[in-house]
Amino acid sequence: MRVALTYNEKRERGEAHAEFDTREAIATVAALVARCGHDVVPIDVTGSVPRLVARLARVRPDLVLNLAEGERGAFREAFYPALFEQLGLPHTGSSASALAVCLDKPLAKRIVAAAGVRVPGPPRPGRAAIVKPVFEGSSKGVVVVPAGGDVAAAVAAARARYPAGVMVEELVEGSEVGVGWFAALGQLPPIAYRYAGPIYDYTLKHETPERVALEIPARLPPSARRRLARVATRAFAALGVSGYGRADFRVTARGEPVFLEMNPLPSLTLVPGHDELYVAAARAGRSPPELIGAVLARA
């Protein structure tokens, strides 16, 4: 096939480009697509939409491997898949509607809770709280308010930075665990993120990833592993995730998984510190080309 590899190029450090990819990172994905036997054309979608449409018309791809996160607004992750759908171009990953729902954290929580999965509740007196933007990913803007701290002040500060809205919830004590899923492969071994501090925050993810140890598969009791697999399946289905994705949980000391958020567009690059899906796939006996091949085949 001729595959258009769409992405947003990371041109600077900081939150605005935190979820974007460098040319070097995209080159690793392009090489994997080529190893699967396809022709691949990387396309940075940032900037002019008419220019992008014209480029796609010239390339005439059979399929779009979409890694584009979008640039602004509550609909940003869904914008390019919606555009591809209007142009009649099949693309990898979830539909535009599913991407929009998953980026809306309160809405995603309500949907997953309705499917019988525990989600964080409102902060309780004498307990730590989490303040986070409603329409952001990668832990951008997430703040921990310690027990007895000024939640109202944290909310006001967050709203000043993220006027689209913020939310407040309890800080669930436990281990941070992600569950990767690929439609052609099923669930991957669970990924535990081990670090010092209360949460897997923006600094750990983007500035000091070397301070995070991946534990794959996560060391959980068999009963907790089974419960995690069941609730992850419910979360993926309830939110309409297709193709692939990663669901993030806190697993309490009693082995109860608590849903945090859904990432229907997790990283597919081989950048150290952000390649955990490939590591999990390797634990299941799958190579990087097999993982990319599964994404393309499903689309």
Residue with tokens 């097999």: 290
Residue type, 181: W
Strands (E) in the chain, as ranges, are 2-7, 39-44, 63-66, 129-133, 143-145, 166-170, 175-182, 186-187, 191-194, 213-215, 244-251, 257-263
Class of domain 2-93: alpha beta
Is residue 97 a contact partner of residue 56, using CB atoms and an 8 Å limit?
A: no
CA distance 193 to 277: 13
Tell whether omega for the bond before 217 is within 30 degrees of 0, i.e. cis: yes
Q: How confident is the model at residue 185 (pLDDT cuts 50, 70, 90)?
A: very high
Least confident of 7-16, 76-85, 92-101, 171-180: 7-16
φ, ψ at 174 (rounded to 5°): 155, -170
- Residue 3: pLDDT above 90? yes
The CATH code of domain 102-118+173-298 reads 3.30.470.20
Segments in 182-287 forming alpha helices (H) = 202, 222-238, 276-283
The domain segmentation of the chain, as residue ranges, is 2-93, 102-118+173-298, 129-170
- Residue 136: pLDDT above 90? no
- What pTM was estimated for this model as a whole? 0.93
Highest average pLDDT, of 2-6, 22-26, 192-196, comes from: 2-6
Residue 39 CB coordination number (10 Å): 13
Mean pLDDT of 17-42: 93
Q: Is 187 exposed, middle or buried (0-12, 13-18, 19+ CB in 10 A)?
A: middle
Check residue 16 and give its pLDDT. Answer: 64
Residue type, 281: A
Q: Give all strands of the β-sheet with 39-44 in edge-to-edge order.
A: 39-44, 2-7, 63-66
Check residue 106 and give its pLDDT. Answer: 96
CA distance 191 to 250: 11
Check residue 201 and give its pLDDT. Answer: 85
Check residue 271 and give its pLDDT. Answer: 81
Handedness of CA 80, 81, 84, 86 (dihedral sign): negative
Residue 257 three-state SS: strand
Mean pLDDT taken over the chain: 94
